[in-house]
Amino acid sequence: MKKVLFIDRDGTIVLEPENLQLDSLDKLEFYPKAFQYLAKIAKEFDYELAMVTNQDGLGTDSFPEDTFWPTQNFILKAFENEGVLFDDIFVDRSFPEDNAPTRKPRTGMLTKYLNNPEYDLENSFVLGDRLTDVELAKNLGAKAIFMNLTDGAGSTEISSKREELDGTIILQTTDWKTIYEFLKLEARSASITRKTNETDIFIDLNLDGTGKSKIETGIAFFDHMLDQISRHGQMDLEILVKGDLEVDEHHTIEDTAIALGEVFAKALGNKLGIERYGFCLPMDDCLAQVAIDFGGRNWLVWETEFKREMVGKMPTEMFYHFFKSFSDGAKANINIKAEGTNEHHKIEAIFKAFAKAIKVAVKRDTEKMILPSTKGML
């Protein structure tokens, strides 16, 4: 199946003039880094490229054809000279008040892609600087790379509420380098379901998320600590657990840790380009140090003690067990040390440092997509 990059023109690959009408070469200014990184995208990836642009009133007295095409053809030729060829070009000529089915965010120009088994719209992207581009992505069943940090442009032409579009935006940036790196690295996501006689667990993980979380284990303090992993590790994490809490907390915590470790191993995949390796973090009276190595071997060094039996409804003895089980599931070495007097702070500092250590370890470098091992495998 073919993946597509649906690319807006004005405000995306060329800068949009103040009067919003690019009708002469004098007004033409290319978007910073668009040549460099769109050329790399065209060369290195297998996306089809489709230009999709609204040109209000093209062909009318206010925007004659002969003022549009010289600039349009110059833009196309300039990108062609850099190795960027658009497979399709779609230009809508209507005004916003016409409500034409072909005008973005509506999909009338793009019917060839809809319900077509040749195209993988779910893994395709719309790149644009207006909320109409984001809603176009939503209407296509694709994702949006939103090249606008102010959120305002196009708001009068969308039918969705602004918050309804958040799930469609996969990346928000004004930097073509960031777009290239995102497409090159792709989001590392994985899900896992683990059912036993004692627990029923579902976990969904996106290592390259933004820190969104939904945690429901039935143990409030445990939820709070797992949320630290998501927020401070800047990963999206959904954990839904039904466990035999009427017995005690052991099975819920242990099985969650095992499944969480396994989903990390699954999301990391071949581990190409990862940094692989710790973090030291203070929190009030406490200092926590966590080092992690996703090197394929499980091991836990644990150097901390707790004076309280329980924090909330979570036994403090289970924290060692959580990290040991995560280590087993993720096949990772973990070294944890913590000191301090307030047990809540100490535990929270450990989880925050753990999250930061993971963030460092899973970071990738697009220029060095190699395996960080002299053995040739991890």
218-255 b/e (C-beta count within 10 Å ≥ 16 → b): ebebbbbbbbbbbbbbbbbbbbebebbbeeebbbbbbb
User: What is the C-alpha separation between 316 and 305, in angstroms, rounded?
Assistant: 9
User: What is the C-alpha separation between 201 and 259, in angstroms, rounded?
Assistant: 8
Do residues 319 and 346 make contact, with C-beta atoms less than 8 angstroms apart? no
Do residues 333 and 298 make contact, with C-beta atoms less than 8 angstroms apart? yes
Please measure the distance between the N-terminal and C-terminal CA atoms of the chain and give it in whole angstroms.
Answer: 31
User: What is the C-alpha separation between 142 and 126, in angstroms, rounded?
Assistant: 7
Nearest in space to 37 (alpha carbons), one of 193, 135, 117, 145: 145
Per-residue tokens: 274: 């990862």
CB-facing half-sphere around the CA of 227: CA atoms within 13 A: 11
Active site annotation includes 8 = yes
Q: Which of 8, 129, 133, 223 is catalytic?
A: 8
User: What is the C-alpha separation between 197 and 220, in angstroms, rounded?
Assistant: 22
Q: Which of 10, 129, 227, 293 is catalytic?
A: 10
Do residues 98 and 104 make contact, with C-beta atoms less than 8 angstroms apart? no
Residue 240 sits at φ, ψ, to 5 deg, of: -120, 120
Q: Beta strand 286-293 with 333-339: parallel, antiparallel or unpaired?
A: antiparallel
Per-residue tokens: 341: 């007097």
Per-residue tokens: 277: 């390796």
Active site residues: 8, 10
